[in-house]
């Protein structure tokens, strides 16, 4: 298969289906966003920095949060805009929305030094103040970002996660994106994930305060290098065929198919999308296919449709068909992540036996088609090794790390490594099979909500 330079590969797990019976197949789409030309003039950006300052953010946390904003301000141009909001039980707009001139940034740096930890956590008030600083200028600015850093629970003002998620979703059509940064063990991860997901942003779990500057500046750096806005993959499906992304992405039905939203793509970003396809029954020798098209708001990814097809075959041909192990590994990693996500919830609810059984069952399913593939075997071994700890009451931080690890494998995005401000994209074998200690260091920067585990 061939296509535009943004499409690295399009492949399926098995190219045939048993004649006369419906079947499930998987498609792995890998794309690479074009590099931004060195001479390109990027669109201006409007960003609001929203810092939580309860008493628990004292000491090194607040100092590193200030340092992160200082570094981020240095990345802006004079035609960008920024605002600075700090909150505890009181919300202060420390710097109202302003052009990022040298003078404005110097004023912001002086104001940053006066932000210290105190009080409770009106997370909703702080976040809404940040978005209100961004919103009035979007007629002039093409995109707005709200970067929210917190280590606590919302315990003042609006605290209902569903209500706040709905408000975040309402801002998405206006291109106001919120990315959230949870520090330590005490923040409301469900709330932060939903805020980010519903607005089209990213959720970062920050285990160590030392990660704050790298992750925040990496997130802003990506926003400043967007080359394709509102990217999407459209699938045109023949009658009787159904499809949905296995990767956690927003999608919707269209006339004769589905459309999967990829959000904004960054210069050089690699992206993997796994799509589950339910193929209808057909006779031997008949072929059926899916037309796949990439697009975005500005036409950067415009391309002719690309096809992936399956052929009806007899049992011998199906059993003898060569499996595409790259697709198998991507699918297994996603289902393993789903199992971990659900196991975390079961463990938190005290359903220790169910959590253990879920991981063991998922490992067994993957092992049935894994054959001698080393990477699939590693996924199976890890699930089996994790089953015993999930079968007992886990420490809250261990649960959080396990959940974040699940996100790492299940979303097509990888966080920056320790000491690097450049984000690395694409989940996969390295992230999935890395030792727990290494994955603990990398367990920072993704969000996803997953459904029941099945293979």
Note whether 109 and 73 are within 8 A (CB). yes
Note whether 98 and 82 are within 8 A (CB). yes
CA gap 379, 286 in Å, rounded: 35
pTM (predicted TM-score): 0.74
Predicted local confidence at residue 120, as pLDDT: 67
CA gap 77, 63 in Å, rounded: 24
CA gap 55, 398 in Å, rounded: 24
Q: Where are the alpha helices (DSSP H) in 172-314?
A: 189-199, 212-224
pLDDT over 90 at 330, yes or no:
yes
Note whether 150 and 183 are within 8 A (CB). yes
Helix (H) and strand (E) counts in the chain: 13, 18
Residues 308-332 have a mean pLDDT of 96
Region at 395 (left for phi over 0; alpha for psi -120 to 50; beta for the rest): beta
pLDDT-based confidence at residue 268 (cuts at 50, 70, 90): confident
pLDDT over 70 at 434, yes or no:
no
Q: Where are the alpha helices (DSSP H) in 200-324?
A: 212-224, 315-320
Residues 56-69 have a mean pLDDT of 79
CA gap 3, 29 in Å, rounded: 12
Q: Where are the alpha helices (DSSP H) in 59-143?
A: 60-73, 102-113, 123-134
pLDDT over 70 at 262, yes or no:
yes
Residues 60-85 have a mean pLDDT of 86
Predicted local confidence at residue 352, as pLDDT: 95
The backbone torsions φ and ψ at residue 314, rounded to the nearest 5 degrees and listed phi first, read -80, 175
Instruction: Compute the Cα dihedral for 312, 3, 292, 333 and give only its sign.
Output: positive
Predicted local confidence at residue 256, as pLDDT: 93
The vertex-363 CA angle with 360 and 364, nearest 5°, equals: 85
Residues 354-371 have a mean pLDDT of 95
Predicted local confidence at residue 391, as pLDDT: 92
Q: What is the H or E stretch that residue 370 is in? A: helix 352-370
Region at 256 (left for phi over 0; alpha for psi -120 to 50; beta for the rest): left
The label of the residue with tokens 């929203």 reads 50
CA gap 158, 165 in Å, rounded: 11
Note whether 189 and 403 are within 8 A (CB). yes
CA gap 255, 422 in Å, rounded: 39
Residues 192-212 have a mean pLDDT of 81
Query: Above pLDDT 70, what percent of the chain?
Result: 81
CA gap 127, 223 in Å, rounded: 19
Q: Of the spans 194-198, 261-265, 358-362, which averages the highest pLDDT?
A: 358-362
Query: Above pLDDT 90, what percent of the chain?
Result: 34
pLDDT per residue as tens digits for the range 377-426: 999 999 999 999 999 998 877 777 766 655 555 454 443 333 332 222 22
pLDDT per residue as tens digits for the range 137-175: 766 545 688 888 887 667 777 777 788 888 888 877 777
| Beta pairing partners, 48 | 83, 146
Note whether 154 and 123 are within 8 A (CB). yes
Report CA-CA distances (Å) from 46 to 71, 78, 84, 100, 210.
Answer: 16, 11, 11, 9, 26
User: What's the mean per-residue pLDDT of the chain?
Assistant: 79
Contacts of 271 (CB under 8 A, 6+ apart): 30, 31, 32, 33, 262, 265, 412, 425, 426
Query: Which of 14-28, 107-121, 359-373 has the least mean pLDDT?
Result: 107-121
Report CA-CA distances (Å) from 401 to 71, 281, 375, 389, 398.
Answer: 27, 43, 22, 13, 5
pLDDT over 80 at 99, yes or no:
yes
């Amino acid at each position: 298969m061939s296509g535009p330079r943004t499409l690295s590969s399009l492949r399926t797990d098995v190219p045939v289906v048993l004649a006369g019976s419906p079947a499930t197949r998987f498609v792995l789409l890998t794309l690479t966003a074009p590099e931004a030309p060195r001479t390109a003039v990027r669109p201006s950006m409007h960003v609001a920095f929203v810092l939580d300052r309860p008493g628990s953010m004292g000491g090194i946390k607040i100092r590193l949060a200030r340092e992160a904003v200082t570094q981020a301000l240095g990345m802006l141009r004079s035609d960008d805009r920024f605002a600075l909001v700090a909150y505890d039980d009181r919300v202060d707009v420390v710097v109202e929305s302003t052009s990022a001139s040298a003078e404005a940034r110097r004023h912001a740096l002086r104001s940053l030094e006066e932000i210290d930890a105190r009080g409770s956590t009106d997370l909703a008030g702080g976040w809404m103040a940040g978005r209100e600083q961004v919103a009035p200028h979007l007629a002039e600015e093409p995109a707005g970002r709200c970067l929210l850093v917190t280590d606590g629970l919302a315990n003042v003002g609006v605290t209902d996660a569903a209500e706040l998620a709905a408000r975040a979703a309402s801002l998405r059509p206006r291109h106001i994106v919120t990315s959230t940064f949870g520090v330590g063990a005490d923040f409301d991860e469900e709330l932060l994930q939903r805020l980010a997901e519903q607005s089209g942003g990213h959720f970062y779990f920050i285990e160590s305060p030392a990660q704050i500057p790298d992750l925040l500046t990496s997130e802003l750096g990506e926003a400043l290098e967007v080359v394709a806005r509102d990217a999407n993959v459209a699938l045109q499906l023949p009658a009787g065929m159904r499809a949905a992304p296995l990767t956690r992405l927003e999608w919707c039905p269209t006339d004769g198919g589905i459309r999967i939203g990829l959000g904004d793509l960054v210069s050089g970003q690699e992206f993997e999308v796994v799509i589950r396809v339910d193929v209808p029954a057909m006779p031997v020798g008949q072929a059926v296919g899916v037309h796949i098209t990439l697009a975005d708001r500005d036409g950067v990814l415009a391309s002719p449709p690309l096809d992936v097809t399956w052929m009806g075959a007899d049992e011998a041909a199906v059993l003898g068909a060569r499996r595409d192990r790259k697709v198998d590994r991507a699918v297994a990693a996603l289902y393993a992540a789903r199992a971990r996500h659900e196991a975390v919830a079961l463990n938190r609810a005290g359903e220790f036996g169910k959590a253990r059984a879920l991981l063991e069952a998922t490992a067994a399913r993957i092992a049935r088609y894994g054959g001698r593939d080393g990477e699939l075997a590693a996924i199976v071994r890890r699930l089996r090794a994790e089953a015993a700890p999930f079968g007992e009451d886990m420490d809250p931080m261990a649960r959080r790390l396990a959940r974040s690890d699940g996100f790492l494998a299940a979303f097509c995005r990888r966080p920056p490594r320790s000491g690097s401000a450049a984000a690395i994209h694409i989940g996969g074998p390295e992230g999935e099979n890395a030792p727990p200690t290494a994955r603990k260091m990398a367990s920072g920067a993704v969000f996803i909500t997953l459904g029941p585990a099945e293979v």
